[in-house]
Each structure stands twice: as structure tokens, then as C-alpha cells.
Amino acid sequence: MTALRPEREDLYGETPYESYGSAPYAAAGDAPTAPMPLMASAPQPHQGQTYRAPGMPPTASVDEQATTLLPPIDDETVALRIPDPPPGPQNGSLRASAASSASSTTGTTPGGRAARRKAAKRRGGRHGGSRGPAGGPDTPSQSASQRPLSRVEARRQARLRKPSPAVVASRAIGEVFITTGVLMLLFVTYQLWWTNVRAHAQAGSEAHQLQDDWASGRRAPGVFEPGQGFAILDIPKLDVVAPIAEGVSNKKVLDKGMVGHYGEGALKTAMPDAKTGNFGLAAHRNTHGEPFRYINRLAAGDAIVVETQDTYFVYKVTSMLPVTPPSNTSVLNPIPRGSGFTEPGRYITLTTCTPEFTSKYRLIVWGKMVEERPRSKGKPDALIE
């Protein structure tokens, strides 16, 4: 095989190409005996010496010759690449080994920037490396935060997490307020709703029991005890039907939804069957059945009926006193003061609290008896209409 050689030798007695063990170029049709190693530059001769590569004009300088041996730079990978050797049987394996070596060394994927990005995504998906908040690898601060804390640091962070006394106090006060609000809500619900439910049930039971006793004759007329029902009050306009019991005790009478009769002590008033006198009654306007809640809507001429074991007593409303102090007991006199009555007669007085949901004042309604009808004659017209 005829190889091309430079015309002169260097100072060490070797030609530049023979020192590397192979000829860089060969005649047409010949294959190189071994692959040519990667060279960053041509061997540097001593000053004054020049080299001439095959086929180059005699005037070529060393720099030009070295430049011809440098491989081209790939703009994509920015890495040196082995120059393509002349055609030959070993060139395919040479190019494959060179590409494999470059790819393993630089970690890049041939095929351009888009192909390398796809390969990088596949490697990231396969290996599943940990990523930070933005999808990249963990930062040093994140790695440090994952390290176990020392005892001192753990205690310090525990003290920082512990609420201050002001926070504890504010929480306690807030809980007290919330508990108080819940209790007040429950109390209002009990007063405005549950007391009415229970009082209506008790008053209805007492009225039915009273009527059953009258029908069966188990109760003698005019015989009753304090707190015991003895009559039934009907106010057709207000759709009120409530038993009348002796006394005005809240616990024994009024809180049970019944109407109380002023029949004890200094406020004792007459019974309906008395020839003259004032039949005084009291009841709740709000809560506990609230029988007298709407008596302020009564007008002159409206009927008030008191039903006893033997008789119906029918009264007609005559006048009203919207507001008076609780100490004004003169409204219960036999001739009530302020009622407009001037002579003895058979009167009825209804008393309750005002304004609504308070007990500061009293509301008074007066009426005069207009009919006394035995039960044997049936119900009066006021209850039939």
C-alpha cells in the first residue's frame, strides 16, 4: 500500500503522521489501517520548519495545515466531531462507534434540539426524580427542610407554635360569648315556643276533664279548690277557649295556660253568679299559652262568655284601659275606677301585661253582663254565631 508522507522530517526524526502510527490520507481505493485519533491541532514543528500535506501547494503554512485537520464544530451540540473518513469497508463501524462515544460522553441525543428535549422528558418520566415546586429538581433549601431537626430547633419551633396568653384569653372569651349566645337562644326558644306547647296541652286537658266531670256529675256545683278549674272562658272573636281556675298563682294556674280568678286575699273579687260585683280575671299575654295575647283587639259589643257547670254567663265589652301601673288595683273594685260604670252591677274585668313580652304595665278590658242562660236551654247565641 502506498501511503502519502510529508517531504520533510521534524527535529525528532519522525514525520508528523508516522508518529501517530497511521497515514491521514490514502490513495483512492485504499482503506486506512487504523482509525485516526481525535486531534485538537496538528503537531507543532520547530520554528522555521514547515510542512506540506499531500495535495497542498508548497506555500501552505503550518497554521493552514493544522486548520485543515481540525474537525468542524456542531452548532447544536457545541462538541468536537470526528471528521468523516474516506469511503471504505470500516467506515460504517467507525462512524457508529464515534457517535456512540460522543453521545455517552456528552449525554446528548442525536437528532437535533427537539429530539433531545423529548429524550430528556422521557428520562425524567422514567426515573421520576424529585422535583421542586416549579417542577425542577429539589433546591438546597428544600433538601435542608427535609432533614430531621435537632432537639433545640424542635423545642424552639414548638414554642413558636404555642399560642400566646393573649390568644388563649381571646379564645376563652370567644367561647364564653358563643356559649352564652347558644344558651340565650335556647332560653328564648323555650319561652316563646315550648312553654306555649306545654301550656296548651295542660289547659286543653283541664278543660276536657272539667267538662267530663260536669257531664258525669262527679263535681258538685261551686265546689273547687285553689288551682282547680271551675269554669271555661270563651272569647269567640279571638277564638280563645281556656279553663278558669281559682287564684292567680303563676306556678299553679297562669303558667299552665289557664285563666286565673282573683278570689284570694285582698284582691278577692265576686263570682259570676253573684247578684252584683266584679268578676276579675288574669292571664298571660305572651308565653305559657298566652290566652290574653290579643285582648287589645276587642271592641265595644264583643262577646265574652263564662261557662260553668249549670249556666252560661254572657258579657259585652264596654271599655278598655290600654296602660296602667301594676299597683292600680282599683280596676278590680266592685265599681271599677276608670271603667265608666257609675253604679253597682255585674261586671267582668280582664287584666294582662303590656307591652308585649314585658310586665311593666297592665292592660285592662271591662265588660257588663247581658245574659244569664241555663245550660239546659243550650248554648247562647254568642257561641253559635
Supply the residues annotated as catalytic.
Answer: 284, 353, 362
- DSSP readout, 20-58? GTS-S-B-TT---SSPPPP-SSPPPPPTT-----TTS-T
CA gap 262, 244 in Å, rounded: 11
Contacts of 6 (CB under 8 A, 6+ apart): 15, 16, 17, 51, 52, 53
Strand-pairing partners, residue 352, are 363
- Strands (E) across 174-247 are located at 229-235, 240-246
Cell numbers placing 301: 259589643
Contacts of 261 (CB under 8 A, 6+ apart): 230, 244, 245, 246, 247, 248, 269, 279, 280, 281
- Strands (E) across the chain are located at 229-235, 240-246, 259-261, 277-282, 303-307, 311-324, 346-354, 361-374
User: Residue 279: what residue type?
Assistant: F
Contacts of 227 (CB under 8 A, 6+ apart): 245, 246, 247, 249, 252, 253
Cell numbers placing 200: 296548651
Three-state secondary-structure class, residue 351: strand
